[in-house]
Structure 1
Amino acid sequence: MDRREEGTPAPAPAPGHASRWVQDWQRSQTLDALRRLLNTSGRVTPALARRTGLSHTELSVLEHVMEEPLGPSELAQRIGVTSAAASGIVDRLVARGHAERQPHPTDRRRTAVVCTSSGREELIQHLMPMFVELARLDADFTDGELAVIHRFLTAADRAVGRLL
């Protein structure tokens, strides 16, 4: 019977039996490819930071504020540093022209850190080859295949996210 038709995930190991469960793990090409992708992804940020001349944390802050304006305390929480450290990181990004502080859109007592066009261009120019290749890859699949890939990646993201 096809594994997909079975629809039953591998049972979680009983407490104290995790090593045995891992030892008996049934590897697959898909899970091996996902493991390689996760390993590669973990190496991307440090490599990108070196290329841009930013620290790992500066790059992380810039990535977050590219998505949405955030306050310094929110940034601190997201990247796992103190508010003072986050403020220093923002100061360095502002000095490079990659970010700026603006009044918060809904709370005038707060400030929001936003990515400038300079900061966006700095990252996009390094990421563009990957974006182009991924878009080309995405276009090679049928809608049905993309639905299956989406379902798998969404569930994989949820599984990996449980470690956070």
Structure 2
Amino acid sequence: MATPEPEPGDPTGGPDSGVAWVRAELQTPTLSALREVMTVGNQVGPVIARRAGLSHSELDALERLAERPYGPAELAKQLGVTTAAGTQIVDRLVARGHATRRKHESDRRRTEVVISDSGRAEVVGHLMPMFAALGRLDAALTPQEAQVVTRYLQGAVESMKALL
């Protein structure tokens, strides 16, 4: 007995039917460009970390610490590592002079990790050429173009967060 042909994009119609629809949909210029941004973006961190003589986790920690201080356990959670591994990352950053430990301002029993000037310079120094180029690109957008790009990127973020 012959199996009926599945509808295009029907994920229950066979092992490859849903995938074929996704592949066809991902051939649009905007989705191809977004996929390339994501691919290249995933390569930036490891390359910058190597250039700086840091592990990818150490660079990730510095980028997070550049935003605000973190407690060691909180930083480990943000990095997706165990508390012990997080402590080792902080120890290495402190040893290099890229971070310091200090007493938490409101709860003196707690410790927080703070990026140092050299840690900030390490991150900014390697990433500044990219940020400057992106700033120029952003400045070249008309207000209407910026609205469209912002709406698209926010929608892309929400689509990805839905998977999390």
The two structures have a TM-score, normalised by structure 2, of 0.86
Distance 1:72 1:52 in 2: 22
User: Are positions 1:21 and 2:18 aligned together?
Assistant: yes
Q: State how far apart, in whole Å, the 2-side matches of 1:158 and 1:13 are.
A: 24
Larger radius of gyration: 2
Aligned to 1:62: 62
In structure 2, what is the Cα distance between the partners aligned to 1:17 and 1:66? 48
Q: CA deviation at 1:15?
A: 5.8
Between stretches 132-141 and 16-25, larger displacement belongs to 16-25
Opposite residue 41 of structure 2, the aligned amino acid is: S
Give 1:48's aligned residue: 48
Q: Which residue of 1 aligns with 2:97?
A: 97
AA at the equivalent of 2:55: S
Runs (5+) with no aligned partner, structure 2? 1-8
Q: Partner of 2:109: helix, strand, or coil?
A: coil
* Cα distance change, pair 22–108 in 1 and its aligned pair in 2 (3 A): same
Quick check: 48-57 or 19-28, which moved more? 19-28
* Aligned match of 1:6: none
> Cα–Cα, structure 1 residues 21 and 71, in superposed 2: closer, same or farther, change >3 Å?
same
Shift of 1:155: 1.1
| Residues 58-137 of structure 1 aligned to structure 2 (within 5 Å) | 58-137=58-137
CA shift, 1:14, in A, is 4.8
Query: Shift of residue 57 of structure 1?
Result: 0.9
Pair 1:154–1:104, CA change in 2 (3 A): same
How many Å separate the matches in 1 of 2:158 and 2:150?
12
The aligned amino acid for 1:68 is R
Deviations 1:64-92 (A, max 9, x none): 11111100111111111111111111011
Change (3 A) 1:151 1:108: same
Alpha-carbon distance, 1:160 to partner: 1.9
User: Aligned partner of 1:23: which letter?
Assistant: A
1:142 & 1:52 partners in 2: Cα distance? Answer: 36
Normalised TM-score (structure 1)? 0.86
Partners of 1:69 and 1:16 in 2: CA distance: 51
Tell me, yes or no, if the aligned pair for 2:76 and 2:85 is still in contact at 8 Å: yes
Task: Extract unaligned runs of 5+ from structure 1.
Answer: 1-11
Aligned residues: 153
Identity percentage over the alignment? Answer: 49
